[in-house]
Chain A
Amino acid sequence: MERTDAQLVAALRAGDEEAFRELVRSWNAPLLRVAQIFVPSRAVAEEVVQETWVRVLGALDRFEGRSTLKTWVFRILVNTAKTRAQREGRSIPFSSLQDPGRVPEAAVEPERFLPEDHPQHPGGWASPPRDLPEDRLLAAETRQRIAQAIDALPANQRAVISLRDVEGWSADEVRNALDLSEVNQRVLLHRGRARVRKELERYLT
């Protein structure tokens, strides 16, 4: 059963262990993905998530419901991760999250298109996409390849595609949790999906 934020906070304050367990389980994967934008290793990201929950509990009395609980927890995570990254002497890839558009990245390899000065179809497909075999699309091997492709993405793209397409968050939820502009959220989603599509096509055709 979905609880409202107010019900959930009340349950936590009342010491409801199952409510807490459910919460840390259900947000674990997205918290890890986001932490990994800022810190280098999976192990450190796990520590950041742990530290975040301790901070969340410590600050729970100050949660006023002006944002959703989810946004609030993720903001605490981002701050915790940034602090940890600084302590580790790692420069924060802040610009990569705030301004992903600075470095252009083609969704499809340019060589798959005809040149701009082509007489009939400038910028048309030279090597068009083909049908993907439906029967293999959801096979275990395919899904494993796709999971690997997501793991191989730059951390900011990986976080956005994980939240949007694996976890099913809305664009607004992702924007709020990561403090991203609408445009940057879409740029990161676009690039992440484009890279994963490339891998899917490469594997299945």
Chain B
Amino acid sequence: MTVDTESLSCQELVELVTDYLEGALEGALLQRVEAHLAACPDCSKYLEQLRQTIQVVGTLTIEDLSPDAERTLMHAFRDWQAGS
């Protein structure tokens, strides 16, 4: 996407938020994004929702290894030890 850095629309801004959060923006484009966010409560709300999304995703529990799979792997480890 080509972004006109002179006037950044809300529709363009929402496509830049990940680059912004990742610290991948610089120069004039970064300034435009920051200026837009400072002046636009709706886009600030969007950014907040995205941060909340990241927060919720961060609380998800991690899938455990099934006992069967773990047993198989521990067998493989012992076999490997015995063979090496």
B26: CB under 8 A from chain A?
no
- Interface size for A (C-beta < 8 A) is 56
List, in ascending order, chain A residues with CB within 8 A of B37's CB: none
- A197 closest partner in B (C-beta): B53
- A196 closest partner in B (C-beta): B53
- Other-chain contact of B49, A29, A123, A197 (Cβ < 8 Å): A197
Q: List B8-24 residues whose CB lies under 8 Å from chain A.
A: 9-12, 14-15, 17-19, 22, 24
Please determine whether B18 and A189 come into contact, CB atoms closer than 8 angstroms: yes
Per-position binary interface string of chain B over residues 54-84, scored 1 when its CB falls under 8 Å from any chain A CB and 0 otherwise: 1111111011111001101110111011001
The main secondary structure of chain B at its interface with chain A is: helix
Please determine whether B76 and A107 come into contact, CB atoms closer than 8 angstroms: no
Give Cα A166 to B60, complex, Å: 6
Q: How large is the interface on B (under 10, 10 to 19, 20 to 34, 35 or more residues)?
A: 35 or more
Please determine whether A128 and B59 come into contact, CB atoms closer than 8 angstroms: no
Quick one: given A186-B22, A197-B49, are A57 and B64 in contact (CB under 8 Å)?
no
* CB proximity of A200 to chain B, nearest CB, Å: 5
Please determine whether B70 and A21 come into contact, CB atoms closer than 8 angstroms: yes
* CB proximity of B3 to chain A, nearest CB, Å: 11
Quick one: given A24-B70, A24-B73, A171-B22, are A130 and B45 in contact (CB under 8 Å)?
yes
A125: CB under 8 A from chain B?
yes
Q: List, sorted by A's number, 24 A–B pairs whose CB atoms are closer than 8 Å.
A: A28-B69, A50-B72, A58-B80, A106-B15, A107-B14, A108-B46, A113-B9, A113-B10, A122-B9, A123-B9, A128-B42, A129-B45, A129-B46, A137-B55, A138-B55, A143-B59, A146-B56, A146-B60, A190-B18, A193-B53, A197-B53, A200-B49, A200-B52, A200-B53
Residues on B facing A (Cβ under 8 Å): 9-12, 14-15, 17-19, 22, 24, 42-43, 45-46, 49-50, 52-60, 62-66, 69-70, 72-74, 76-78, 80-81, 84
